[in-house]
Amino acid sequence: MIIRTDHEIIKRITYERTCVKYVRIMAKYDTETKYIYTRKGKKRSSFIVIPGVPVKSENTMPRAVRTVLHALSYGGIEVDASRKLADIKKMDPMRIFYRTLDAEVYNGDYKVPVRLFFPNEEAMENGAASGKKPPVILFFHGGGWVTESVENYERVCARMAQSTGQIVASVEYRLAPEYRFPVGLMDCYAAARVFYTNRFLLNTDPDRITIMGDSAGGNLAAAVCMMARDRREFFPKKQILIYPALNNCYTEESPFESVRTNGTGYLLTAAKMEDYLKLYESSPKDRQNPYFAPILEKDLRNLPETLILTAEYDPLRDEGEVYGRKLHAAGNHVEVHRIYGAFHGFFALGIKFLHVQESFKYINQFLNKSYEKILQ
């Protein structure tokens, strides 16, 4: 049976065992769609879809939006000005209604601030109670490793807690260029180690913790999961990467077409990404380190179940989707969904935006499912 929707073509087939099949169907959309089929006993197969790319698709973004984005898509980064612009988000009149609790974890002698966001009063009252082990999203914010903060992301994290019903722990890692690679990464890793080893004020169940990040935070989330696997100190079960920055090059030499097609005019530019990398790196050789650019990792086996969300008009789009394919090829469970009509940074918009609603649909489905590993 073939079912056609706006952005995907689904072909259902029943298999006797777990398998993966790529189906290419020529129609309005030239779709290379990944299906993961599972069959237990006599139960019917289930499937997961990675939408394909529209053929000769028209720009679905309204012209007025494109005009505004183009005006804001200047090249280059001036650190102080960028931080002041980002800090405007601190003036949030709704923050008095957020249910939060501030805490700290240690990275060596440094205290890493962590802010907890609770979905409701009951979760806040029971969160630190003995014997309670609520689900937790450990979140690393975006900002090119250079800007943004826990305070700037308060609305995002409060909405995330409400939309998922989980406690969100937002980590205030140190920023470049004052603290270059790998300082911010190690702050995030230290926070994850505390949560996964149940040394935080919350009683945590490692199986109910999800590591998550957007943009540069997605980079940090992917790197933390790889470092945890390599060091064998803890074992994350799930990670969610929102339009993650995973590569080490955003010039014309980039292997990803989205860097060229979306590298200007859509708010985040390729030139900005290059500046962010220069501010983040301690030396040029850092760019060859998989913890700096996770897509360079050659051994991607034994990593967490992964959800990747990309945006159609984002220079980072293709690297996120390629990373998903590499994770899958290494035997991990992966879901990748492209949010059509969206640009980089859309996840920080209000819940009334359809792109944000679509994202939480995928996030909640992922959080509430448990998948078996796909064996090589």
CA atoms lying within 13 Å on the CB side of residue 256? 23
Q: How far apart are the C-alpha atoms of 220 and 191, rounded to whole Å?
A: 12
β pairing state of 305-313 and 334-343: parallel
80 is catalytic: no
Pairing between β-strand 100-107 and β-strand 110-117 as defined by DSSP bridges = antiparallel
State the first-to-last Cα distance of the chain, in angstroms, to the nearest integer.
28
List beta partners, residue 211.
Answer: 138, 239
Which residues, 6+ apart, have CB-to-CB distance to 261 below 8 Å? none
Structure tokens at 142: 């975006």
Q: What is the DSSP string of 266-304?
A: SSS-HHHHHHHHHHH-SSGGGGG-TTTSGGG-S---S--
For 163, other C-beta atoms within 10 Å of its C-beta total 18
Q: Is the separation of the CB atoms in 319 and 287 below 8 Å?
A: no
Respond yes or no: is residue 205 known to be catalytic.
no
* Tally of residues, the chain: 376
Question: Per the residue annotation, which of 82, 149, 163, 215 is the catalytic one?
Answer: 215
Separation between Cα atoms, residue 268 and residue 263, nearest integer Å = 7
Q: Position 104: which residue type? A: E
- Clarify whether 344 is annotated catalytic: yes
- Spell out the alpha helix ranges (H) of the chain: 63-72, 79-86, 121-126, 154-164, 183-196, 216-231, 257-261, 270-280, 317-329, 354-367
Closest CA to 116 of 101, 95, 126: 101
Q: What does the DSSP assignment read for 38-100?
A: B--TTPPPB--EE--EETT----S-HHHHHHHHHH---S--HHHHHHHHGGGG--GGGGG--E
Catalytic residue among 214, 314, 328, 337, which? 314
* Catalytic sites, residue numbers: 215, 314, 344
